[in-house]
Amino acid sequence: MLLWEGAVPVFRVWVRVGGKRRLKHLDLSSPTQSLLEELIGSLCFFCWSLCPDFIFKRSRVRTLTGLFGTPRKDLRPEPSSSLLCLPPRPGQLPKALGGGPDCGCVHPPLQDGPKARPRRSHSSSQFRYQSNQQELTPLPLLKDVPASELHELLSRKLAQCGVMFDFLDCVADLKGKEVKRAALNELVECVGSTRGVLIEPVYPDIIRMISVNIFRTLPPSENPEFDPEEDEPNLEPSWPHLQLVYEFFLRFLESPDFQPSVAKRYVDQKFVLMLLELFDSEDPREREYLKTILHRVYGKFLGLRAYIRKQCSHIFLRFIYEFEHFNGVAELLEILGSIINGFALPLKTEHKQFLVRVLIPLHSVKSLSVFHAQLAYCVVQFLEKDATLTEHVIRGLLKYWPKTCTQKEVMFLGEMEEILDVIEPSQFVKIQEPLFKQVARCVSSPHFQVAERALYFWNNEYILSLIEDNCHTVLPAVFGTLYQVSKEHWNQTIVSLIYNVLKTFMEMNGKLFDELTASYKLEKQQEQQKARERQELWQGLEELRLRRLQGTQGAKETPLQRLTPQVATSGGQS
């Protein structure tokens, strides 16, 4: 029995021992009351399910804990109410706990108190179905009404499309969903083909309908270790309607009747910020639409361009230094690539700082492979605009060069080749030595893909011409590594590629090649001589240590120990 005596809850259990019933008491007034109450609630449910004759008794109830520990306030029975509640059928909760049929007792109504938090669903919170919403009815077609009634009907259809439905339940409100889908299709067709429909009074209705449908709290990822390359993304359940809303928004922005001067009152900084937050959606279909829409917004609204670039920078910086999780980095970089391509010359200081402080550090994140192609394109676009940035970019890449991830190393080498394709000879001179020292380290990598990708530099005609013009600097930086790896690498494909590179160097400057070969062999002989001398020195030190150890052991012998052999000899002779 679960009993509250005053404000102190007491749990009483009848136990049969030897045919006699004994009453056990458990006081719940201890500091662990809340934990015990939760345990008791679960135990009561277990007893009700096993034994239909189990009796739940309450007297002067102050607080009752629900099945999962959620408190309910002030459940007080009427003075005339029975103290016994007949148990429910197995598998049901008593009505006092919020379930089961009426047990026949007089139960007081529950007062307002804390409600149990519903289980989190992985759908968007915006698409919660409202059971009390009005049922949608089809409206006349826009093409069937006279021009005087067109805009009024358009506003009614826009309001109708602002009604949300629950797509987690596939069979709920099928008629309403179909009515909204048909209305959205009609709006898309009307905006794309009918002239004169976009007048100033409908702009707020359009933006309101779009905002209601697309802006929502994105669900948390079901998998914290989500890998975009291997794991399947969570697709948006409301996509049948959401796709049409995005298509309508895109047609709205591309319409010949679109007036940015009117729309800028509604498409403001707050709207753009919420639009950027949607790029974190796991659904790639939604991000693709968002990418196109944001690019149109950037082109139409000149006053929002600086704000869009600034907010993109903030997203990237949070991604680099705080969360390292954002699903739409690739799409945002793709937009920025086209934006950078349109920058006027000379570049502003703001743009150069964006390259150095944002794009270069983006190479340090773990998920680089997801957006590396778009990132490399942005970097190359900057260098084509301003060649003087080349040294900053290459030294930045060398700073963030991966040490343990061979996949990222291959990507860095690919990006470096793209940069060298557009580099000017005057800028190549500034970075040739540190760059090719890193290339030489990649050639000596035991991972054959890294070594192979580094050796492909010599297959690029433009890079080869730069190397030939600066052979006196590049060849000494890589010759020793190439010669050594050609003798020691385990992969025969790499060895044959190195032989081709050495042959190219020999044809490029045979005299320098011979000098480096002789110098390398002499250096190796000197290293071997130093190694022998070092080994002999250590051997001499070891022999000296052993001699000293033997001398120390002899000095430690006492006079009695030295006389013992003599006494033993003289005793044997006598």
Report the C-alpha gap between 215 and 275 in whole angstroms: 7
- In this structure, are residues 392 and 431 in contact, taking their beta carbons and an 8 Å threshold? no
Q: Is residue 256 part of a domain?
A: no
Residue 78 pLDDT grade (very low, low, confident, very high; cuts 50, 70, 90):
very low
Task: Report the C-alpha gap between 289 and 251 in whole angstroms.
Answer: 12
Per-residue confidence (pLDDT) for residue 560, from 0 to 100: 53
Query: Residue 424's pLDDT is what?
Result: 95
Task: Give residue 90's domain range.
Answer: 2-97
The pLDDT, as a whole number, for residue 131 is 45
Please check whether residue 56 is in contact with residue 1, taking contact to mean a CB–CB distance below 8 angstroms: yes
Short-list 451, 509, 445, 444, CA closest to 475: 509
pLDDT in tens, 286-344: 999 999 999 999 999 999 999 999 999 999 999 999 988 899 999 999 999 999 999 99
Whether 396 maps to a domain, the answer reads no
Torsion of CA 188, 191, 192, 197, to 10 degrees: 160
Q: What is the pLDDT of residue 44?
A: 57
Q: Tell me whether residue 73 is in a domain.
A: yes
Give the other-Cβ count within 10 Å of 50's Cβ: 9
CA gyration radius, the chain: 40
Q: What is the pLDDT of residues 99-129, one digit of tens each?
A: 444 444 444 444 444 444 444 444 454 444 4
**Long-range Cβ pairs for the range 38-41 (8 Å, 24+):** 38/65, 38/68, 38/69, 40/2, 40/11, 40/65, 41/65, 41/66, 41/67, 41/68, 41/69, 41/97
Residue 147 confidence (pLDDT): 81
- Checking if the pLDDT of 275 tops 90, the result is yes
Interval 541-559 mean pLDDT: 79
CA distance from start to end of the chain: 105
Q: Which of 7-11, 137-141, 260-264 is least confident? A: 7-11
Distance CA 134, CA 108 (A): 33
Say what the pLDDT of residue 64 is: 39
Close Cβ partners of 291 (under 8 Å, ≥ 6 residues apart): 328, 331, 332, 334, 335
CB 94 within 8 A of CB 132: no
From 19-28, 165-174, 275-284, 338-347, the region with the lowest mean pLDDT: 19-28
Q: Give the model's pLDDT for residue 478.
A: 94
More confident residue, 59 or 517: 517
Count the alpha carbons within 13 Å of 551 in the hemisphere toward its beta carbon. Answer: 6
The verdict on residue 43 lying in a domain is yes
CA distances from 7 to 58, 74, 79 (A): 12, 11, 17
Domain count, the chain: 1
pLDDT at res. 67: 37
- Is 246 part of a structural domain of the chain? no
Q: What's the chain's average pLDDT? A: 81
Q: Which residues are CB-neighbours of 66 under 8 A, at least 6 positions away?
A: 41, 72, 97, 98, 116
Q: Judge contact between 436 and 474, C-beta under 8 A.
A: yes
Of 68 and 456, more confident:
456
53 located within any domain: yes
Instruction: Quickly state the pLDDT bin for 346 (edges 50, 70, 90).
Output: very high
Higher pLDDT, 85 or 207: 207
Q: Has residue 66 been placed in a domain?
A: yes
- CB-based contact 454:446 (threshold 8 Å): no
Please say if the pLDDT value at position 56 is more than 60: no
* 3 state DSSP class of 39: helix
Q: Which amino acid is at 44?
A: C
Confidence of residue 498 (pLDDT cuts 50, 70, 90): very high
Using an 8 Å Cβ cutoff, are 164 and 132 in contact? no
Answer yes or no: is pLDDT of 8 > 80: no
What's the pLDDT score for residue 565? 54
Banded pLDDT at 355 (limits 50, 70, 90):
very high
If you count them, how many residues does the chain have?
574
| pLDDT score recorded for residue 133 | 57
What span, in angstroms and rounded, lies between the C-alpha atoms of 513 and 517? 6
311 Cβ contact list (under 8 Å, min separation 6)? 272, 273, 276
Interval 144-164: pLDDT, tens? 888 888 889 999 999 999 999
pLDDT of residue 82: 38
Does a structural domain hold residue 134? no
Which residue has tokens 């279909």? 285
- Beta carbons of 2 and 11 less than 8 angstroms apart: yes
